[in-house]
Structure 1
Amino acid sequence: MSGLGNCSGALEQRKQFLSQCSQCKKNYKGMDLSNNGNFFVLFPLREQFSSLLRTKDVARQLENSLLKLEVDADPEALCDITDGRLYREIRRNVCDKQDFTVTVNSDGSQAFNSAKYSIWPIQLTINELPHHLRSSNVVLAALWYGAQHPNMTLFLDPFVKALNGLADEGVQWKTSKSVLCTSKVYCISCSVDAPAKASMQSIKQFNGYYGCGWCLHPGVCLPGSTVVKYKADLLDIPDRTHAGMLVDMETAISRGPTNGLKGPSPLINLRGFDIVWSFTPDYMHCVQLGVTRQFVELWIECTGEAYYIGKPSDLRTVDTKLCSIKPPNNFSRLPRSLTQYKHWKASEFQKWLLFYSLPCLEGTLQKKYLSHFALLVNGIFLLLKHNIRVSDIDEATALLVEFVVKTQMLYGESQMTFNVHQLLHMPKSVLHFGPLWSLCCFAFESNMGNILQLIHSSKGVPLQITTRILMQNRTREMLEQASNPVKEYHGTLYKAPELSTGIEVMGDADVFDASQHRSLFLALVGFVPKCVYEHKRVNVSGFMFHSTQYRRPLKTDNSVAFLSDRDCFVRIEHILSFRDVQNVSHVCVLSRLLSTTDLFKSVHIKSPSFLPVYKLYTVNTKMLPCVYIEFENHKFILQLPNKYETLSRGARTCAQGSLFYPHYVITLYGHFFSGHRALQYPHM
């Protein structure tokens, strides 16, 4: 399948376009191919990145990140993509100091409930931007629209050529000092779900033999089944290599599928792209919507099994615990019944896995199955931490290997799914590209929702999306050049909450009697302030905390915090503020001393004990929320793995969608599905 030609994309030129297929010698009209509903739009990337980097905050953050990369980092610490070993190796071999890299994603979503037409965008994020900025500035590289899945060779080939063009000529932008900088752009990583990965990698699907793109596990088809499983008792299975994949792809051209490879993938032509390890196991699809959901379904649906908890009495016990939990208000959803798991979103499975499952299942699920599931909980938590040490990866590897092996022992070979198998490759992927959250599909899925909201009718869907995104982002680009009154007026129309970075006490203040705690103030600041005020709430870097005196929230609880600089937990009983002799404001919390013991052999699940001794703690930006669970006879404090995934939508910087330049040429590739090769055309 190949292109038939190009046009500017203007309506009249599309109508008049004529071309002959080189294979069947049949003539095609541009309008006929367009009306057939299978084509895609390719957006020039240079203009989009230039437009994005005209946003001052984005350019400043990118500049700072590139400067930090010049400093030798701690080789034992992984805090983001840029700390990954494969990232550093690719950057060292391919990039100059001013160049930046991107992650690519492609996935489909149904455009209408009553029709089978779907959109398949190719989306990009800049790896060197901070997490919140790259999540809110997703760049749209191409958009396929049709009734069938795209032909990935046809779809990816022009995309690869466009990116290699950026690797040759680069993108120009101005630094904070107005210095003109030319940065080359390299695509070095890909975050997609398993079906999209198979088509982009040109490998068999996960339900076929040799369907794993990271290793040469052959897969086993169990008696009476047509689905391939990935048994854990096969020994000495080697990892795939980039060079080995190229050999297998070449062999597949003449001999058919070789080690699962069906032929060459266009992505092998991307400079700096490793066809094996540039693909990362996606945490959202593999763990949350995959393994976690799989085990919930097993426990509830498999009657007669030793791990079955689907009896009404058992479900009632678990649901009573689950629905009584008051999570911190930065969680976007409240817990809901386990019986509704088929309707849970990925974020709900995430919270269930990390925070709710072990406390709720204790006493209901048999101990050996609970201990087995705790291996997954603890292993994934370690790979989600904000600062991951190499020792954490080693520990997570041991936990996940044990989990996979015991899954086959406890649940049988039929449960050795590809999602379970992928867990074995996650630690190595984290070593290559940083924590699991750094290359997750959440940002791309969120932007997919933004794109779908731009469709208002069934006619001309790609042109609707393109035109409306163009208008939105042209407004944002103009806003950068607007006067302050215009920016203020725009702010009144579109109230986009920004990520707070400071400390702010909230609500009314009452006078607090400091004389009762003289020794605590003397120990903290060296004097007893004359005027101390008590507040019910305080905002710390976008996280809201409240004291136990605050009675308003009925379904959330933000009274427990982890002080990372002191490595301790606090239950906030009073939030206090005062000024010192230099008139400098201080904010602190008063809490009883709290000791904890580890539960479930976990690093993040604690059993608290409150001592009758009070202590004052200074509030700083190292203060992070925790999940506090209180059942009839048990209390739990659960630490969050990082601060990025748990910020509620309202606390994040609002995603504005992809940025586009107002004057560019768009290439449309019409696709006539009759076995012939397709048509090309461009601009609107």
Structure 2
Amino acid sequence: MGESYASNYTGLTNYETVSIGEYTDLVVTEITDTKNDNERERQRFEESQLEYKTSSNGDKTELLDKSPTELYAMLFKFSLANNLAWQSLHNLIRLLSKLFRKPIMDEEEVAALEEPMLDNRDIEFHALCKFCQAHLGEYTEAVEQYKKCPRCHEAIAEDSNPSTDNMFILMDPTERIKQLLGAFAAHLDEVTREASENRFEDGQRDSVYDGSQYRWLRRVIRDPDYLTAVLHASETPLDRIGQSDVWPLYLALNELPSEEPSHRVLCCGLWISQKPVDLHLFLRKFLECVEHLSKTGLSVEIEGQRRCLRVHVVSCVVDSRTHTRLLDSADLSELPYFDVDKSFVPDALECISMVASQMFHTQMRLLEPAQVRYVNTKLRALLPPSQSLDWTPRFWENFVLYYSVPIFADLLDRPRLTHWMHFVSGVYLLLKDQTKLHELDRAETHLEQFVSQMRSMYGQRSIIGPQVDSLLQLAKVANRWGPLRLLSSWCFRPAKRATLEALRSARGHLPDFFDLAKMSCSSLGPEARARDLLAEPLRESSYSSSRTGALYFEAEAIKQPMTGLCLGRNLVAYRKMLKAGYRFEAVDESNFTSCLDKSYALLADNTCVRIHQFVVDLDNEAELVVCQRIELRNFSNDNPDVRIYLLDCDYPISYTVIYAEDLAIACDIVHDDNDMYLCPPPYAPYD
């Protein structure tokens, strides 16, 4: 009886018969019949549930309706939101595992947590004299060798443990570079192939590979297996630990994807001291630490081939103050492919913000008190309350590109407004995503005219300092090394935020800082591993399009009827979309702050629309935008290099539906009395 019953279900496997009286039962241990999909899904869900103890002796157990993956993500969410140190997160996971009969993490993941993120052999602790900043060597050697400082003869504390008072730390990036190359092997292989075939554009500067200096490097470096790196150092401290200031040192790899700035930038050193940083000593010791990378290289497997890649430091991003200090640096000049005249890259963000700040205050002194109050009222309306008293360099950039022209148009006379527009036009052209060579020439002309007219118009008050010299060099730098947004402190900001968060989370405990710094700067860190886990369910809040590469999030109810469009029944509406580096948002009627209104966008044909909702047809994979078309008038006719438009609010508005792929640029809006100005950004701010 059991055999005939089982023969009717050929899809069942791994069964045995058990006879009980006149009955024979089938005990099925694996269900492979395609007809039992629902049963299999239910079985998988029950297996993923965890039993937790409800009494001290464990007599009673209940099921938790969360899978191990969800608990894993919840722990990371909690740790990231509260800036927990890495050891605290580790202890929290171990504690939670004790509450369940089954572990929430497998043995390999637990072992990975117990292993240090950075091998101790990759870290060097150097002692400094707290009185004269003399370098005493590595900590253990300094304690054994010196009882007194050889320079100032002050007594040295006999403590071999590193202190956060006066020291600097060097972190060898070799192993982290290997991990990053493994993660982005396909991109590196494509860059190498394009370089060998000389497929980079000659008439424009879209990336660092298009720059004249990078092309020169490809010709002079005979070995095809190489990487180029950018140093970033500054005399401005990043943060404080106790009574000491902290100066970081970063290394960025050019051959990694530019859209992954938090991965391609590595924190390689920290100077922690109560006195100013000695950049010459800091750089010299770091270059000695990584000297083997340029001489022997590192061995890594890329696309199935074992390659030995040499890493060459070819440029250094510095602010104007640091540039003056490092011009006579013998250590940088001895690097084989570092040209002192061409390899120093001025920090464009610092340069633009300093010039804009000085010119703004100079012009304000020339205005009447009533005009100053008018400007103050406008700026307070533009800025969120949290930023109204603290202008960051990034907001100075936004002020120059978007807000200054509509505000100054009614305040400055014609000559002064024309002079200011030279500065705005030059900056706008230099920050574009795709800059042609003739646009670089025009940008250089604009900035030269701006500087030459400055003294004649404003007298001695126009003397700004070294920032003017750096301003005149920006066009040449963009020609040599590509877009400024990929060179200057733009690309180092994510790494600086990660370092700052790691310092604050570690709370002075250096091993925790190393773990957190590695987690933040490496694509293989736990935060990146949890990135998919942190995302909320697909249908509930977000949708990722494999066809257009867009990401939709913040789901909501459909507002407008979608009849007559031949759409399916499975429609989901969203408020926001991230596409090609731009964040598009639907209009929020409750938001009256113009600087936060991101609902205006330009299409590829320069048509302006105001977005009301994104609608995705999950059945047909159609991505639609419910919007209103807006008429524009060119506000900057006299300055064709700057795109600023005046919105025609009297134009009759009706709703229309377009495809999401037609959206090209998300724009900023500036309100000025009864007028509204549309300001397209020169580059995608979310690359």
Which amino acid in structure 1 is aligned with residue 412 of structure 2?
L
- The answer on whether the counterparts of 1:163 and 1:185 sit within 8 Å (CA) in structure 2 is no
Counterpart-to-counterpart distance in 1, 2:425 and 2:630: 26
Q: Which of residues 417, 423, 434 is equivalent to 1:376? A: 423
* 1:276 equivalent in alignment to 2:313: no
1:619: Cα distance to partner?
1.3
Distance 1:498-1:412 versus aligned 2 partners, 3 A rule:
farther
- The answer on whether the counterparts of 2:237 and 2:247 sit within 8 Å (CA) in structure 1 is yes
Counterpart-to-counterpart distance in 2, 1:45 and 1:181: 18
1:448: Cα distance to partner?
3.9
Counterpart-to-counterpart distance in 1, 2:206 and 2:606: 18
1:360: Cα distance to partner?
1.6
Counterpart-to-counterpart distance in 1, 2:510 and 2:270: 9
- The answer on whether the counterparts of 2:348 and 2:488 sit within 8 Å (CA) in structure 1 is yes
The 5-angstrom pairing of residues 283-298 of structure 1 reads: 283-288=348-353, 290-298=354-362
Which amino acid in structure 1 is aligned with residue 450 of structure 2?
F
* 1:142 equivalent in alignment to 2:269: yes
- Which deviates more, 371-380 or 407-416? 407-416
1:75: Cα distance to partner?
0.5
Which amino acid in structure 2 is aligned with residue 48 of structure 1?
R
- The answer on whether the counterparts of 2:245 and 2:273 sit within 8 Å (CA) in structure 1 is yes
* 1:507 equivalent in alignment to 2:566: no
Q: Which of residues 329, 332, 342 is equivalent to 1:267? A: 332
The 5-angstrom pairing of residues 202-213 of structure 1 reads: 202=328
- The answer on whether the counterparts of 1:514 and 1:532 sit within 8 Å (CA) in structure 2 is no
* Superposed CA offset, 1:257-316 (max 9, x none): xxxxxxx5210111211111111121121111x10111122133x3xxxx335x1x2233
1:511: Cα distance to partner?
5.5
Identity %: 20
Counterpart-to-counterpart distance in 2, 1:87 and 1:348: 31
* 1:49 equivalent in alignment to 2:186: no
* Superposed CA offset, 1:113-161 (max 9, x none): 984x322322111112223323444322232222333433332223233
Which amino acid in structure 2 is aligned with residue 390 of structure 1?
L
Secondary structure in structure 2 of the residue aligned to 1:394: helix
Q: Which of residues 582, 589, 592 is equivalent to 1:554? A: 592
- The answer on whether the counterparts of 1:18 and 1:30 sit within 8 Å (CA) in structure 2 is no
Which amino acid in structure 1 is aligned with residue 475 of structure 2?
P
1:164: Cα distance to partner?
3.7
Correspondence for 2:297 = 170
Counterpart-to-counterpart distance in 2, 1:509 and 1:439: 43
Correspondence for 2:258 = 131
Which amino acid in structure 2 is aligned with residue 76 of structure 1?
G
1:498: Cα distance to partner?
13
* 1:318 equivalent in alignment to 2:375: yes
1:574: Cα distance to partner?
6.0
The 5-angstrom pairing of residues 239-638 of structure 1 reads: 265-288=330-353, 290-300=354-364, 302=365, 307-309=366-368, 311=369, 313-325=370-382, 337=388, 340=389, 343-416=390-463, 417-444=465-492, 447-455=495-503, 464-465=509-510, 467-470=512-515, 473=518, 501-504=549-552, 506-510=555-559, 512=561, 514=563, 535=573, 537-541=575-579, 543-548=582-587, 550-555=588-593, 556-563=596-603, 565-572=604-611, 575=614, 583-592=620-629, 594-599=631-636, 601-602=639-640, 603-609=642-648, 612=652, 616-620=657-661, 623-638=664-679
Correspondence for 1:518 = none
- TM-score in terms of structure 1 length: 0.68
Distance 1:362-1:167 versus aligned 2 partners, 3 A rule:
same
* Superposed CA offset, 1:560-611 (max 9, x none): 1122x434332335655558xx934242444336343241514321123475
- The answer on whether the counterparts of 2:227 and 2:253 sit within 8 Å (CA) in structure 1 is yes
Secondary structure in structure 1 of the residue aligned to 2:514: helix
Counterpart-to-counterpart distance in 2, 1:590 and 1:201: 54
Distance 1:314-1:476 versus aligned 2 partners, 3 A rule:
closer
Which amino acid in structure 1 is aligned with residue 608 of structure 2?
F
Distance 1:127-1:545 versus aligned 2 partners, 3 A rule:
same
- Computing the radius of gyration over CA atoms, which structure comes out larger, 1 or 2? 2
Correspondence for 2:43 = none
Counterpart-to-counterpart distance in 2, 1:102 and 1:641: 26
1:102: Cα distance to partner?
0.9
Counterpart-to-counterpart distance in 2, 1:24 and 1:554: 62
1:86: Cα distance to partner?
0.8
Secondary structure in structure 2 of the residue aligned to 1:297: helix
- The answer on whether the counterparts of 1:45 and 1:141 sit within 8 Å (CA) in structure 2 is yes
Secondary structure in structure 2 of the residue aligned to 1:191: strand
Report the count of equivalent residues: 537
Which amino acid in structure 2 is aligned with residue 140 of structure 1?
C
Correspondence for 2:200 = 73
Counterpart-to-counterpart distance in 1, 2:616 and 2:535: 31
- The answer on whether the counterparts of 2:519 and 2:527 sit within 8 Å (CA) in structure 1 is no
- Which deviates more, 353-362 or 161-170? 161-170
Secondary structure in structure 1 of the residue aligned to 2:661: coil
- The answer on whether the counterparts of 1:38 and 1:146 sit within 8 Å (CA) in structure 2 is yes
1:21: Cα distance to partner?
9.1
Correspondence for 1:668 = none
1:104: Cα distance to partner?
0.3
- The answer on whether the counterparts of 1:17 and 1:29 sit within 8 Å (CA) in structure 2 is no
- The answer on whether the counterparts of 1:513 and 1:532 sit within 8 Å (CA) in structure 2 is no
Correspondence for 1:675 = none
Distance 1:69-1:3 versus aligned 2 partners, 3 A rule:
farther
Counterpart-to-counterpart distance in 1, 2:152 and 2:372: 62
- The answer on whether the counterparts of 1:201 and 1:267 sit within 8 Å (CA) in structure 2 is no
1:536: Cα distance to partner?
6.3
* Superposed CA offset, 1:323-366 (max 9, x none): 4448xxxxxx67965xx4xx311112111111111112221233
The 5-angstrom pairing of residues 657-676 of structure 1 reads: none
Distance 1:532-1:194 versus aligned 2 partners, 3 A rule:
same
Counterpart-to-counterpart distance in 1, 2:682 and 2:407: 20
1:384: Cα distance to partner?
0.1
Counterpart-to-counterpart distance in 1, 2:551 and 2:527: 30
Correspondence for 2:86 = none
Which amino acid in structure 1 is aligned with residue 633 of structure 2?
T
Distance 1:88-1:452 versus aligned 2 partners, 3 A rule:
same
Which runs of at least 4 in structure 1 moved beyond 6 Å after TM superposition? Answer: 1-5, 19-30, 32-36, 456-459, 474-484, 486-492, 497-500, 530-534
Counterpart-to-counterpart distance in 1, 2:521 and 2:213: 35
Give 5+ residue unaligned stretches, structure 2.
1-131, 537-541
Distance 1:324-1:121 versus aligned 2 partners, 3 A rule:
closer
- The answer on whether the counterparts of 1:383 and 1:396 sit within 8 Å (CA) in structure 2 is yes
Which amino acid in structure 2 is aligned with residue 473 of structure 1?
K
* Superposed CA offset, 1:362-393 (max 9, x none): 21233322221111111101000000000110
Counterpart-to-counterpart distance in 1, 2:346 and 2:217: 19
1:553: Cα distance to partner?
3.1
Distance 1:114-1:469 versus aligned 2 partners, 3 A rule:
closer
- The answer on whether the counterparts of 2:230 and 2:254 sit within 8 Å (CA) in structure 1 is yes
Distance 1:190-1:577 versus aligned 2 partners, 3 A rule:
same
